[in-house]
Amino acid sequence: MLDPIVKTIEVPCNQQHAFDTFVNRVASWWPLDKNSVSAMNGEVAKAVVIEPSNGGAVYEIGHDDTRHDWGSVSTFDPHSQLTLEWHIGLSAEQASEVSVTFAAMDNGHTRVTLTHSRWEAFGDKAADMRNGYDNGWVGVFENAYRDACSA
């Protein structure tokens, strides 16, 4: 069994703003030109959407307006936690799990921890998928999302 990926960052905004940026403004910070189904085909996606509720969908609006399902919301606890069944570019049966927690800090900032697990869903490709996501979350979460919270 492969260990989860755990990425923890401190963002210079309060917990509510950090959560709202992650969920409701995802299209403003997600690198649509690099990390999307459209990008896999050399195009730039138009948007990424996280529907803010338990059972909500996570999807991309592709460069050609095609909807590409990325997953679903399995836990939606406003301002505290978001857990996604994550299968970008794959079938729902191959979903890993991405959980993001938001914790207020004494200095008015927020500690945001992203945990990506359930690698066995990828079968023989599990180690390669984990390695790819370990690198991918640096640009997406540690850089793009943190920068969006700083704005």
Task: Using alpha carbons only, give the angle 17, 147, 85 rounded to the nearest 5 degrees.
Answer: 65
Is residue 94 a contact partner of residue 87, using CB atoms and an 8 Å limit? yes
pLDDT single digits (tens) 107-117: 999 999 999 99
Amino acid at 81: Q
pLDDT at 1: 85
- Against a cut of 0.85, is the pTM above it? yes
Q: Is the pLDDT of residue 105 over 90?
A: yes
Cross-strand pairs, 99: 83, 115
Domain that holds residue 19: 5-150
Q: Domain tally for the chain?
A: 1
Q: What percent of the chain has pLDDT over 70?
A: 100
Looking up residue 112, the CATH number of its domain turns out to be 3.30.530.20
Residue 89 has pLDDT above 90, yes or no: no
Computed over every residue of the chain, the mean pLDDT equals 96
